[in-house]
Amino acid sequence: MTTRHERWCRSAAGSALLPAAGRHNERVTTPRSIPSSALGPRGGAGSGPAVGRMPGPSAKSRGPAPRQRGGLENVKETSSHGLLRFASSCPALAGVHRPVVLGMRRGRLGMDKKSVFPVASAWLTTVMPSSLVDLPVEYGRRLFAHPIHSNVRSDVARLIAQLRSCNSPEDYYCFQRELVDRIRDIDAHWDQCARVAALLGQGKRVPSNAPELRSDSDSREQETWELERDVCERAGRQYRSIGDALAWQAFGFSRRVIIGLSRNQPSGSTARKKGTEAELSFARRIWENDGHFVLLHDFTSCLRIGDATLFKRVGDATYEAYLHEEKTDQNKRKSRQVRRMRTAEEAIRSGGPLPGDATGWLKEVDVPYKTYLGMLRDGLRKADARGVVGMKVPMGRALVAASIAKGYELWSETEFTERSMTAHEQARKRAGIRGADDCVAYDSADFAGRSPVSPPWAIYPLPPQTCADLITDMSVFFVSMSGKFLVAALENVDLRATWLVPEGPVTLGPDQVVLDVSNGRSHMEMKPSELRQLALELVDLEVWAEGTRALLASNVRDGMVWPHYRNEEETWS
């Protein structure tokens, strides 16, 4: 049977990339449709500021800031990146059907199962087009070969380098203005191509006002327009992932803020959204009149509450962050949206409850965050030279990194597949993963812009071109993990853990419990997204186990726990 990884390899410009990573591959099946605007009408202005400091050229400091009245959060520090660096002492984080700690259910032992709060809220399941992995192989090849895909790859690398050099409100304003132009152009082209494809599907002709195709394919064929539409969907997500990186950087790489402002449905394409011009006009007016930077949420995937965040200068190097709602008709403000904004602000400030989930709580874990992302950097660098590389990651994980361009340059598709499988098997053996029944695997394929709370590839501590290759799937990595090593890590900190993944080939659903962990008084149920964070962020298992122990020992309320590790922001670029 063809695996998820093999299907992806063969679709990527015809080159084979990844072998079967194991029997248990988490996968979320989504319909093949472009997300439409789901936020509805908005209006009003946000409340309360968050006080912070502008970044200096290189100085860094950590620690909690004195609490101010109102606002998103108290801010402290100087940094080489970001308008604001939020104090790391505040509660935070979360996850979705992707990496970052997808909430863990927490409850008292002896409680009836029905009294344990469920993890998956409606907002966690974002309607997205089919993953590249799930498309027919030949169709995936055509996506990769499309000129738009090639242009986005080079453009994204340049944008990442430009973003990392931003150090002032003017830098951020100019950068966002260019990014907005890219996203609006792609959104408009997607909308027009989708319209033509629909007309051809109804037996009609190509209209006279049809857009010019950006490929040399036959404009009379419906499939040509469908392909261009789907390429634009991917390009839009990829550009918005750069918007996500802008948001993370402006907010000092704080997951606390990102998760608090992500608790809503995505805004969708800007092509037909009535409020887009009003939001752009607001950002431009504030900049021209006051010199303040306004971060526009609709040009990200992660910021889904409020239309914008205004960073207001209140001192030589101090800023306040205000949530803002901009409406063309101020009489149509919705109290529900205002309440959601206020709930998000309070959750970021004090830990919960989160918008849309009264049982969801942010919780800081006083354990320093540690990852093996340096190994990922080395693996991707070696893959650029060798095509494919397998590596052992400490405590029972195997990492395989591959470069589409180099692998296809060196070998045929068949040989690339064989070498990838060999690299994987050798890495598994070195990692001590002997069997397949307790193994789960996660990969980076077509993940850009699919999760509102995952760190975007653009902020990973990797060179800009490497990040761009991950975003556009010209490089890929996957990580296999053994359940027995996860259980052993938890037992090493005096916890009891049960691995609940069934034997045999299975597809893990987003709501399936994979680990049950207890300290004798409380227990947690972990779902696939928790393991996805461990895999794609290569989190140190000892840190993860200590964090889990600290959560179980804390007095956090029963329900959804969204942990955040100390100094986690230092991990990201």
What is the mean pLDDT of the segment spanning 524-538?
Answer: 90
Strand, coil or helix: 343: helix
- At 530, the pLDDT band (50, 70, 90 cuts) reads confident
What's residue 81's pLDDT? 34
Between the CA atoms of 46, 47, 50 and 56, what dihedral angle is there, to the nearest 10 degrees? 40
Contacts of 298 (CB under 8 A, 6+ apart): 267, 270, 273, 276, 279, 307
Between the CA atoms of 456, 457, 459 and 460, what dihedral angle is there, to the nearest 10 degrees? 130
Question: Which helix (DSSP H) or strand (DSSP E) does residue 525 occupy?
Answer: strand 522-526
Q: How far apart are CA 240 and CA 219, in angstroms?
A: 28
pLDDT at 461 over 60: yes
Burial letters for 312-341: b for 16+ Cβ neighbours within 10 Å, e otherwise?
bbeeeeebbbbbbbbbeeeeebeeebbebb
DSSP label of 492 = T
Name which of 48-57, 367-376, 510-519 the model is least confident about. 48-57
Which has more confidence, 565 or 332?
Answer: 565
The structure tokens 């928790």 sit at 530
Detail the DSSP E strand segments found in 202-259: none
- What type of residue sits at position 376? L
Overall pTM surpassing 0.85 (yes/no): no
What is the mean pLDDT of the segment spanning 399-415?
Answer: 95
Q: How many residues does the chain have?
A: 573
Q: What percent of the chain has pLDDT over 70?
A: 74
pLDDT tens digit string along 173-185?
999 999 999 999 9
DSSP label of 323 = E
Q: Cβ(119)–Cβ(560) under 8 Å?
A: yes
Q: How far apart are CA 286 and CA 275, in angstroms?
A: 17
Phi-psi group of 110: left, alpha or beta (phi > 0 → left; psi -120 to 50 → alpha; rest → beta): left
Q: How far apart are CA 218 and CA 29, in angstroms?
A: 31
Q: Which two tokens stand for residue 258?
A: 């990102």
What's residue 557's pLDDT? 63
- At 33, the pLDDT band (50, 70, 90 cuts) reads very low
Q: Cβ(34)–Cβ(192) under 8 Å?
A: no
- At 218, the pLDDT band (50, 70, 90 cuts) reads very high
Q: Cβ(276)–Cβ(270) under 8 Å?
A: yes
DSSP label of 441 = E
Q: How far apart are CA 326 and CA 283, in angstroms?
A: 10
∠ CA 346-46-356, nearest 5°, is 45
Burial class from Cβ neighbours inside 10 Å (0-12, 13-18, 19+) for residue 130 reads middle
Burial class from Cβ neighbours inside 10 Å (0-12, 13-18, 19+) for residue 451 reads buried
Strand, coil or helix: 251: coil
Bridge partners of 294?
310
The DSSP annotation for 363-416 comes to EEEEEE--B-HHHHHHHHHHHHHHSEEEEEETTTEEEEEEEHHHHHHHS-HHHH
pLDDT at 114 over 70: no
User: Cα dihedral sign for 47, 53, 58, 64?
Assistant: negative
- At 35, the pLDDT band (50, 70, 90 cuts) reads very low
What's residue 212's pLDDT? 96
pLDDT at 244 over 60: yes
Q: Chain-wide mean pLDDT for the chain? A: 78
Q: Cβ(30)–Cβ(130) under 8 Å?
A: yes
What's residue 436's pLDDT? 63
Q: How far apart are CA 122 and CA 119, in angstroms?
A: 10
What is the mean pLDDT of the segment spanning 194-207?
Answer: 96
Q: Which two tokens stand for residue 144?
A: 């990769």
Burial letters for 392-428: b for 16+ Cβ neighbours within 10 Å, e otherwise?
bbebbbbbbbbbbbbbbeebeeeebbebbbebbbebb
What is the mean pLDDT of the segment spanning 452-479?
Answer: 96
